[in-house]
Amino acid sequence: MNHYETIFIVDPDTPETDQDSIFEKLKTMISDDGKLIMFDDWGSKKFAYEIRKKRQGRYVRLDYCGDGTLVDKIERLCRLDYRILKYMTVLLAKDVDPESLIVVEDEEPEAVTETKETKETEDTKETEDTSSTEEASSDEAVEIETTETESETEE
């Protein structure tokens, strides 16, 4: 199975019940032919430019595993449904085990905090290394100046 990501924008004038029916239809389509990893609703966002005379839309991201026929079905639904303004599908990885991609809700925050702590310690090490390098270069400059003045005094 391949790992895909599809992002689509739903017309904001569509009633909430119709939007939910679109989402459920896509979820069942993916669960029938593949494996849904994440359904991420980003909410309503303002566009940089008008799309079909609309200034904003509801962004939704689907993260799933499947094959090319599943992607064709999803894109066909997005193309035919007038309530979906735009869509885009991206192949993230080939020949992936869907079980390894499933995000466990309990483990995710711990991994994020560990990553932040690791990054903070790396940042402090980098600043320490930079400051010691700056000190060393200023010491070298002082040594160069003293050797020049010593050679001038000898003459």
- Domain endpoint, select from 87, 103, 119: 103
- Domain shared by 57 and 109, yes or no: no
- Domain shared by 49 and 26, yes or no: yes
Q: What is the pLDDT of residue 98?
A: 72
Provide the pLDDT confidence category of residue 105 given band limits of 50, 70 and 90. very low
Provide the pLDDT confidence category of residue 115 given band limits of 50, 70 and 90. very low
Determine the average pLDDT of the residues in 3-8: 93
Express each pLDDT in 40-68 by its tens digit. Answer: 999 899 999 999 999 999 999 999 999 98
- Domain shared by 81 and 138, yes or no: no
- Domain shared by 66 and 137, yes or no: no
Q: Is the pLDDT of residue 153 over 60?
A: no
Q: Is the pLDDT of residue 88 over 90?
A: yes
143: left (phi over 0), alpha (psi -120 to 50) or beta: alpha
Percent residues over pLDDT 70 in the chain: 65
pTM of the model as a whole: 0.62
What contacts 134, CB < 8 A, 6 or more positions away?
none
Q: Name the residue range of residue 147's domain.
A: 104-155
CATH of the domain at 28: 3.30.70.60
DSSP for 61-125, please give it.
Answer: EEEEEE-HHHHHHHHHHHHH-TTEEEEEEEEEESS--HHHHPPPTTHHHHHHHHHHHHHHHHHHH
Q: Is the pLDDT of residue 20 over 60?
A: yes
Nearest CA to 6 out of 46, 48, 65 is that of 65
Q: What is the pLDDT of residue 119?
A: 53
Q: What is the pLDDT of residue 59?
A: 94
At 67, list the tokens. Answer: 């094959």
- Domain shared by 20 and 72, yes or no: yes
Helix (H) or strand (E) holding 37: strand 35-51
Write the CA distances from 134 to 78, 127, 143, integer angstroms. Answer: 57, 10, 14
- Domain shared by 22 and 90, yes or no: yes
Please report how many Cα atoms fall inside a 13 Å half-sphere around the Cα of residue 18, on the Cβ side: 11
Q: What is the pLDDT of residue 93?
A: 87
Distance CA 155, CA 145 (A): 16
